[in-house]
Chain A
Amino acid sequence: AQSVTQPDIHITVSEGASLELRCNYSYGATPYLFWYVQSPGQGLQLLLKYFSGDTLVQGIKGFEAEFKRSQSSFNLRKPSVHWSDAAEYFCAVGFRNTGNQFYFGTGTSLTVIP
């Protein structure tokens, strides 16, 4: 069965520090990969996506993610975190062979300290 794993439930970083949020998926088909961010009381906002081509993708708000097929990973990174980045981050995966739905990870809650 398809699954998406975000191993870190909660991460705390200092403002200005670098950030990496992990995401792994399990399934053999070619994935479509997404990162969404959810601020309190808000919906899910797309940060970036990967369909094909260059495995390093750039997103909004200074985020980037790298698809590593050999590791079945799509980790999200940001070189310098801002206090406004505090939110819940969700990795989502879609597969060409399984129709429309997305499979979500459990999310990583990011706290940014001054």
Chain B
Amino acid sequence: EPEVTQTPSHQVTQMGQEVILRCVPISNHLYFYWYRQILGQKVEFLVSFYNNEISEKSEIFDDQFSVERPDGSNFTLKIRSTKLEDSAMYFCASRLGGNSYNEQFFGPGTRLTVL
């Protein structure tokens, strides 16, 4: 069964460093998402991406964040200068698209720890 994959599973970085979180969505999906979950808190929407551009973003997704689909398979989230409060689990998701509202399929997450 096709699944969303994410690498790395755990990333440790120093405050102020740049990190890139990688995701490989399900191959025929058209919509891509990033969510984050700070420990003990709810899963929060960051950004959605469709047709090679951002379709929606939350207040959390400020200028420090960017997303890219550099080739036909990867979908990346970049944090330019990490802060302590960026420590969280980051989930990538993808959705088939089309006229019906399909469910989002989630990856296993990347745990980001900022020291």
Contact = CB atoms under 8 A, between A and B. Distances in A.
Contact of B107 (A43, A46, A49, A90): A43
Contacts of A41: 108
Contacts of A44: 43, 91, 93, 106
Interface in A43-86: 43-46, 49, 51
A100 B31 contact: yes
Contact of B101 (A36, A43, A96): A96
A52 to B, nearest CB: 10
A104 B101 contact: no
Interface of B: 4, 6, 31, 33, 35, 41-45, 48, 50, 55-56, 58, 91, 93, 95, 100-101, 103-109
Interface of A: 4, 32, 34, 36, 41-46, 49, 51, 90, 92, 94, 96, 99-107
